[in-house]
Structure 1
C-alpha cells in the first residue's frame, strides 16, 4: 500500500511574479538606453552590458511564462502538470547567458589590435544609469533568489550586469583620463569572464534537477535512520529523493513494517507518522511510501535496490 501527500502545489517562482515583472520593466528600459548609448559612443563594453541585460530580460520573460505554465493542473498525461517548465526556462537562461559571454570575448579579442575611439562622456552617463537600475533590480530579486532557480538565474544575471556596469564606468574613466582606448576592450573581456562561471553554476544546478539528483542538503542516510525509528517500521529500501521544480522536493520509499502493524490494521498510523517525521525533520511535503510485510522484498525484482 502507499501513501502520498501533496500539501502545496505552488512553485517558488510563482510566489515572486511581481518581482519578476518589475525587474523586466526596469531591464527593458535600460537595454534601450544602453544600445543607443553603445552605438553612439562606440563602446563595445556598453553594448556587451546591453546584450547581457537583453538576455536578462529574455530570461525573466521565460521565467514568467514558465511560472504561469507551472500552475496548470496535473492531468493523466502529465501527473506533475507543467511544473518542470520552470527548470527548462532556467536551462534556456543558462545557455543564453553562456552564449552571450563567449560572443563578447570573441568580439573583444577581434578589436584588440584596432580599438575604436569612444565617446567617454556618453559612455559614463549611460553606464552610471545602468548601474543604478541594476542595483534596484538586485534589491528587488534578493528576497526570492534562494527559493527558485529562475529567480536565482535572474539575480545572478543582474549581479553580472551590476559588475559589468562598474567595469564600463572604470573603462570610461581610464579612457577619459589617459586616452587608453583598449580599456574598453579589457572591460568587455572582463564582463564575459565574469558571466561564464555564473552561467555554469546555474546550468549545473539545472542538470542536477533534470537528472533527479538528491536535493542539495538532504542526507538520505539520516532520512533512513529517521524512517527506521518510526514505531512499526522494520526497514526501508528503494529510497529516492528528487526535485520536481524549485521549492518542490519529492521522496518515495518502500517501507517494511512488522506483522503486528498489519494484523492490527495500523498501516494508516504508520503512514501518518512517516509523513509527520519527514515533514518536521527534513521539510519534505511530497512523500510516497509503499508499505510491505517482512519477506516481501524478494518478490520485487532485480531492479530494486
Structure 2
C-alpha cells in the first residue's frame, strides 16, 4: 500500500504566509464592519428604516461569521495529531456551514419583519437613510476587494465573501429605497427592498450550505466522476479489477482517493512501475494529490493436496497388487 503526499518545506512555508495574509484580511474586514454596524443600526432606529435595520442585522451576522472564520482559520493551521490524523481543516468547512445557515436565518427574519411593516407602516427619514446606505456600499466594495483574491481555494473565506456580497446588494437596494422614500414618499419601497434583499440572501446561502454538507457526507467532488476514474484505471494494461474505490473531500483543495486493484501476475519491479504510472495518471488527470492504492497480484490455483490417509491406502493397494501378481504361477 503506497500513499503519495505532494508536499514539502517550501509548500509549508507558502501555506503559512497565505494563512497569515488571510487572517490579516479577515481582521481588517471585521474592523470595518464593526464600525459600520454601529453607525447603520443607530441611523436605522432614528430614521425608522426597516431596510437599514435589516441590513444592520445582516452586518452583525457577518461580524459573527467572520469571527468564526478567524477561529476556524487558526485551528485549521494546527498540525495533525494522534486523534485528528487529517488535521483540523474541516473546521473551516464547519464554519462555512454555519455561515450559510446564518444567512438563511437572517433572510427569514427580514421577511417576517417586512410582512409586519407592511401591515403597520411607519414614517421614514429618507436623507439619513440614503447617506448611511452610500457609506455601506463603499465599505462593502472595499471588503470585496480585500476578500476576493483569497477565496479560490478556501470555502470558509468564500462564505465570508458571500456575506459581504449580500451586504453590497442590500446597500444598493437601500439606496434605491431611500431615493424613493425621499422623492416620492413611497414607504412601501423600504419594505419591497427588504424582501428582495432577504430573497437574495437566502439564495446565495443555499450553494454554500449544499457544498459544505457534501463535504461532510464525504461525497465525491462535482468535478470528479468515480465511474470515469474506475474506467481510467482499468484501461491500464495489467489491471484486471478495481474494488473499494473511494473518493472524498477533506477540504475544498484537498481530495482523497483510495482503491484496491487486482493486477496480473508480474514481478515486484513491474508492480512498482505500474503503481507509479497509476498514481501519476490520477494526479494529472483528476487533480487528486492524496492517493492510496493497494495492488494485489492474481495467483494461479495450486493443485489440491492428496490426503495422507488416501496416500497410504493407495500405496498399500499398489503393494498388494504387486505381491499378488508375483504369487501367481507363470
Q: TM-score, normalised by structure 1?
A: 0.89
Shift of 1:249: 1.0
Say if 1:230 and 1:273, in contact at 8 Å, map to a contact too. no
Where 1:259 maps in the other structure, the secondary structure is: coil
Q: Which has the larger radius of gyration?
A: 2
2:71 maps to 1:72: no
Q: Report what 2:296 is aligned to.
A: 292
CA distance in 2, matches of 1:68, 1:93: 17
CA distance in 2, matches of 1:220, 1:232: 20
CA distance in 2, matches of 1:16, 1:278: 30
2:216 maps to 1:210: yes
2:205 maps to 1:199: yes
Deviates more, 1:284-293 or 1:269-278: 269-278
Say if 2:43 and 2:132, in contact at 8 Å, map to a contact too. yes
The higher-RCO structure (CA 8 Å, 6+ apart) is 1
Unpaired runs of at least 5, structure 2: 301-330
CA distance in 2, matches of 1:139, 1:230: 47
Q: Report what 1:300 is aligned to.
A: none
CA distance in 1, matches of 2:25, 2:235: 43
Q: Report what 1:144 is aligned to.
A: 150
2:52 maps to 1:53: no
Q: Report what 1:264 is aligned to.
A: 268
Say if 2:249 and 2:256, in contact at 8 Å, map to a contact too. yes
2:227 maps to 1:221: yes
Q: Number of aligned residue pairs: give it.
A: 293
Q: Report what 2:253 is aligned to.
A: 247
**1:24 aligns with one of 25, 30, 37:** 30
Q: Report what 1:180 is aligned to.
A: 186
Q: Report what 1:299 is aligned to.
A: none
Deviates more, 1:213-222 or 1:158-167: 213-222
Assess, with a 3 A threshold, how the Cα gap between structure 1 residues 228 and 95 changes in structure 2: closer, same or farther. Answer: same
Superposition misfits of 4+ residues, deviation over 6 angstroms: none
Q: TM-score, normalised by structure 2?
A: 0.83
Say if 2:22 and 2:150, in contact at 8 Å, map to a contact too. yes
Say if 1:115 and 1:185, in contact at 8 Å, map to a contact too. no
1:164-179 to 2 correspondences below 5 Å: 164-179=170-185
CA distance in 1, matches of 2:155, 2:148: 13
Alignment RMSD (CA, Å): 2.1
Higher helix proportion (structure 1 or 2): 2
CA distance in 2, matches of 1:64, 1:230: 45
Unpaired runs of at least 5, structure 1: 297-305
